[in-house]
Amino acid sequence: MRAPDFWYSNPNESVAFVLKPLGWIYGFVGRTRASMTVPFRASVPVICIGNLTAGGTGKTPLALAIGEILKARGLRVAFLSRGYGADVPGAMIVDASQDSAKDVGDEPLMLAQRAMAVVSPDRPAGARLAISRGAQVVVMDDGFQNPGLKKDLSFVVVDAAKGFGNGCLIPAGPLRERIEDGLARAQGVIAMGEGHIALPVDTALLRATLVPMAEDAARLKGQRVLAFAGIGDPKKFFATLEACGADVVSSKAFADHYAYSEEDLGDLKEAAQRHDAIPVTTEKDFLRLAPAHRTGITALRVVAQFEPDSARLLEQLIDKCLTQFQPPLHAKH
């Protein structure tokens, strides 16, 4: 689904104005659900990387970056994800060598390349499974609005260029909840990319960008490429390729989490041949392809890179969380 343009325009001069009452209902339902839920308290720290808006903001690369910081401290990390589009009846460990994106979702496959990844529509069940397999800390990729699992440290990720859009709740705007409600539960806001972010409350602000992996960028520099992507903002991926020095001769945008058919891929490869170009996509898109369909297609991998001051602040917030963590009385050690 593409975010409608009116989500990022004046809320009083567009369709958003008409839809505002539905947004109020959406927000009321979410607040009521949260107030009626007693969150499960895990026996290990839970760190959540979420957002307040619908759509992609770079949460998964940030989850991976935070996972690396925790692993550098000698901790056994487990990533926890709902698994967008996956048909998972209960909590399960992702097998990166066997499972497909159709089975578990594309983000969990990315996460499973680096550490244990658990997919579960029921977040407490997923945390319990991860802990039973030896996890010493759980990193949630999304799930900030899910009240079922208590978070010990939460980051809200914001696209610095778009901010919080028109400030309205879904469907009138991109917000999943009111800004002040969400930021009240967060220990930090991570602004991704360039742009000014005005926060209505005093919350720690960190800045990061997505940068291509050096070896991938070097391989694509000077190459003619046909770019395609089915992510929240494909244009950003196309711009990243150009910044790498690739010659983007053609580009094709698909819906977020798009399931590529054999016909789609045949058309893309044929178009690439006509342009004498290499088909290039994101790592997340690449993992959604069946192994037999990946031949001839290159993935450009990206990592989250924090500004120096933000990197130090991130380390401090993580250390504070780990130091102050108090396990529940019933936890067994």
Q: What is the mean pLDDT of the chain?
A: 93
Alpha helix positions (H), the chain:
15-35, 59-72, 101-104, 106-112, 123-132, 179-184, 214-220, 234-243, 262-274, 283-288, 308-324
Instruction: Say whether 65 sits in a helix, a strand or coil.
Output: helix
pLDDT category, 330, cuts 50, 70, 90? low
- Burial class of 58 by CB neighbour count within 10 A (0 to 12, 13 to 18, 19+): buried
Residues above pLDDT 90, as percent of the chain: 80
Q: Round to whole Å and give the CA distance between 187 and 164.
A: 18
- Residue 333: the pLDDT is 47
Out of 9-13, 32-36, 124-128, 171-175, pick the least confident.
9-13
Strands 224-229 and 278-282: parallel
The per-residue pLDDT for range 86-104, each reduced to its tens digit, is 778 889 999 988 998 888 9
The CATH number of the structural domain formed by 42-207+305-324 is: 3.40.50.300
The mean per-residue pLDDT over the stretch 150-174 comes to: 95
Residue ranges of the domains in the chain?
Answer: 42-207+305-324, 214-300
